[in-house]
Chains A and B, each alone.
Chain A
Amino acid sequence: MQVPVQGFMYPNEVELQWSVLIVLYPFITGLVAGAFILASLERVFRVQAVKPTYRLALLTALSFLLVAPLPLQLHLGHPERSFEMYLTPHRSSAMAMFGFVYLWYLMAVLLVEIWLDYRRDIVLKSQSTKGVTRILYRILTLGSNNISERSLRIDDRFGYFVTLVGIPSAFLLHGYVGFIFGSVKANPWWSSPLMPVVFIFSAMVSGIAAVMLLYMLSTRLRGRAIDIRCLDTIAQYLLYTFVIDFSLEMLDLLQRIYEADESFRSLDFMVHTRLWTSQVIVQILLGTVTPIALIGLTQIVSLSQIARKRIYAVAGSLTVIGIFAMRWNVVIGGQLFSKSFLGYTSYKMGFATREGLLTAILLMILPFLILWVLVKLLPPWPEADALSVSSATPAGTGPTSF
């Protein structure tokens, strides 16, 4: 093996098994879960202030959910056999059960909720558009053109129920990913009952931050005014979730340091050397403490709208980067040390290879392309405000509602 090893590693451990694509996967499903939770804030918990982001959050969740299986497929030694997980799922395997959780969430929750919320628009578009898009909309109507008051009310009630089911489903979706790592007793960096909980809360943080950023960006691109009350509320929820997430991670850290079990010395050394930049600098300082401090500042001190927007943009970006770093530290970090606790290896990430950096970058761009298509097909905003920079109308027309 050309990979430089420090100390001793079991001979088969030197090469990392799970690459940056496996870092990407929990990051993407986390964004899905987080975006959905934000959407459910309005739908179920009636937080009216965040309504402007409702549809955008759902479409964001869908875009990322569609891309989520791709890093996994690219990572598999035999992607053509991946359907076996649905044929003969091994009930004791978290990974196998996850295939069904994913399917459930996509088909029974997200797609149904989006369909119910957009049905009226879909039916109208199936009558007003032409060509290929007309056919597409007609398929989406499932052959029913009924958009009477009563049917829409039924949709609304059913949609409420779907969202209600969707909240635990979203927790399950990402909690399962946490469990996939947390249940591996062979790996002390992963094995922890806190893992699913930490994953869920960090997912919510990343999803909320991502939707917040997308909302700010898309509103600017449309040349509309940002609903500052909406933004303030989202930032507040981001702060609360972040504080819980940070507390959980600190609890894990403190416990480890205090108990100092067999693995501790090895893990401690790893954090101080190989993971110093990604964990301490990027994840903790830049990605957690700074955003919490920034948003916390807006809660304590009265700042102008412009200052708040800037802070939210910076905090949101740092958050998303920080949560990515957290996934990196869990996945890659868990493979850098030997299970003998006597040595370390390094991760050699390729660039233009099947599991390389370029692939990861392209996979991260893809959801935004899908989102762009979805926004065109199913505009989160009324027709007149279609996403276009050239038709920028003067600010001051107020927040849109539908």
Chain B
Amino acid sequence: MFKDIEHLVRLALVMAIGVVAFVLVRAAVIPRSFGQYGHYRGAALAEISSRPIAFAGHQVCESCHTEVVEQKKLGKHIVVPCEACHGALAGHAEDPASVTPPKLDTAVVCARCHEANSAKPRTFPQVVTVDHSGGIACDTCHQPHRPAIETSAKSVAEGKK
């Protein structure tokens, strides 16, 4: 009797060996932290959060550049974060001597926000630069940290830089 189903028993044995091998390999190869917090590699959280930072954040800038903050406080640009115009400067914040922030081209930087566009909020200050200034650098007339143009007496009194 057994003789006639022996081949099926062999087949079952081969399958069983396959399953066992699979289970063993799986146990050996599956990442250790998998399933720690959910169906993923728990160690990934630490790996992702340990990425280096590019933008320092305005609080860091303000801790050193206090005189700029004083100027900004007198105008509308107080709400504009430093790195919005100056770019990512975490490197400079880490080691000011080694990384010098590049000089900005105001004709480009200012236009990004202030070039007139019908989709911008009506109350937002915007100009058609071609008509407004003929394309010259904005800082010819405006001081970026305190952009409003005021009378010269007032500027001198407040020590405008």
* Contacts from A to B (Cβ < 8 Å): 86-88, 90-91, 107-108, 112, 115, 119, 141-144, 146, 148, 150-151, 154-155, 158
Contact = CB atoms under 8 A, between A and B. Distances in A.
Given A150-B4, A151-B5, A144 B10 contact: yes
B26 A154 contact: no
Given A86-B22, A88-B39, A107 B7 contact: no
Contact of B10 (A107, A142, A154, A158): A142
B11 A87 contact: no
A99 B11 CA distance: 22
Interface of B: 3-8, 10-11, 14-15, 18, 22, 26, 29-30, 34-35, 39
A142 B30 contact: no
Contacts of A91: 39
A151 B4 contact: yes
B3 A107 contact: no
A88 B34 contact: yes
A90 B35 CA distance: 11
Nearest to B19: A107
Given A119-B7, A146-B6, 10 more contacts: A88-B30, A88-B39, A91-B39, A112-B11, A115-B11, A142-B14, A144-B6, A146-B4, A151-B3, A154-B5
18 contacts: A87-B26, A88-B39, A91-B39, A107-B15, A108-B15, A115-B11, A119-B7, A142-B11, A143-B10, A144-B10, A146-B3, A146-B6, A146-B7, A148-B3, A151-B7, A154-B4, A154-B5, A154-B8
Contacts of A112: 11
Contacts of B10: 142-144
A158 B12 CA distance: 13
Given A107-B15, A143-B10, A90 B39 contact: yes
Nearest to A158: B8
